[in-house]
């Protein structure tokens, strides 16, 4: 009776796929990982300082789509992410207003391999600049003497 129960337990475990037989090929998955950085870092670049190389983007959702399947992951507070994907070609997209500046739009995953895909995104930080001044205060300007003003603008 004991041998029968042991045999049934082994069969059930093998049927569920929880056991890997010796010599069996490794799973057909690979890992994609990397970091996501955003620029610009602030609305105004301070004078006499080197430009910001980027700041980590935490909590960004990254979606990998391929073969009718979508797999998602999120960046941590350091902008790092990792995802286990089936072998194949995957399209990369961010669920955010941020636009990819650099980084691969697709990744190719091979079984048992690790792919590093780092991204630089546009943070969207901008300072509205008035056409009249750099700080928003109106300037006393002379009226335009352009004989052909743009359409919709009255001539002086």
Query: Considering the domain boundaries, does residue 64 fall inside one?
Result: yes
Query: Considering the domain boundaries, does residue 102 fall inside one?
Result: yes
Query: Considering the domain boundaries, does residue 133 fall inside one?
Result: no
Query: Considering the domain boundaries, does residue 75 fall inside one?
Result: yes
Query: Considering the domain boundaries, does residue 18 fall inside one?
Result: no
pLDDT given at position 43: 76
User: In this structure, what CATH number is given to the domain that contains residue 111?
Assistant: 2.60.40.10
Q: What are the backbone dihedrals phi and psi of residue 121, each rounded to the nearest 5 degrees, phi first?
A: -120, 155
Query: Considering the domain boundaries, does residue 63 fall inside one?
Result: yes
What total of structural domains would you count in the chain?
Answer: 1
pLDDT given at position 117: 97
Query: Considering the domain boundaries, does residue 96 fall inside one?
Result: yes
Angle, vertex CA 64, rays to CA 88 and CA 37, nearest 5: 120
What is the distance between the alpha carbons of residues 21 and 77, in angstroms, rounded to a whole number? 39
Cβ-proximal residues to 156 (8 Å cutoff; 6+ apart), any chain: 143, 144, 145, 149
- Give, for all 156 residues of the chain, the pLDDT tens digit: 777 666 666 656 555 554 555 544 456 999 999 999 998 887 777 777 787 888 999 999 999 999 889 999 999 999 999 999 999 999 999 998 888 999 999 999 999 999 999 999 988 877 665 555 444 444 555 665 656 666 665 655
Length of the chain: 156
pLDDT given at position 1: 76
Query: Considering the domain boundaries, does residue 149 fall inside one?
Result: no
Of the chain, the end-to-end C-alpha distance in Å amounts to: 104
Q: Which domain holds residue 95?
A: 26-45+52-122
pLDDT given at position 146: 59
pLDDT given at position 81: 97
pLDDT given at position 53: 83
Q: Does the reported pTM lie above 0.75?
A: no
């Amino acid at each position: 009776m004991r041998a029968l129960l042991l045999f049934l337990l082994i069969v059930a475990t093998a049927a569920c796929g929880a056991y890997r037989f010796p010599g069996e090929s490794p799973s057909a998955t690979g890992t994609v990982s990397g970091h996501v950085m955003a620029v610009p870092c602030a609305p105004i670049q301070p004078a006499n300082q080197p430009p910001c190389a980027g700041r980590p983007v935490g909590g960004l959702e990254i979606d990998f789509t391929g073969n009718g399947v979508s797999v998602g992951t999120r960046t941590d507070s350091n902008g790092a992410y990792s995802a286990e994907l089936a072998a194949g070609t995957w399209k990369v997209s961010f669920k955010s207003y941020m636009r990819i500046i650099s980084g691969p739009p697709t990744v190719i995953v091979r079984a048992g391999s690790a792919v590093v895909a780092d991204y630089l995104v546009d943070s969207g930080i901008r300072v509205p600049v008035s056409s009249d001044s750099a700080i928003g205060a109106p300037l006393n300007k002379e009226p335009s003497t352009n004989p052909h003003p743009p359409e919709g603008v009255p001539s002086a």
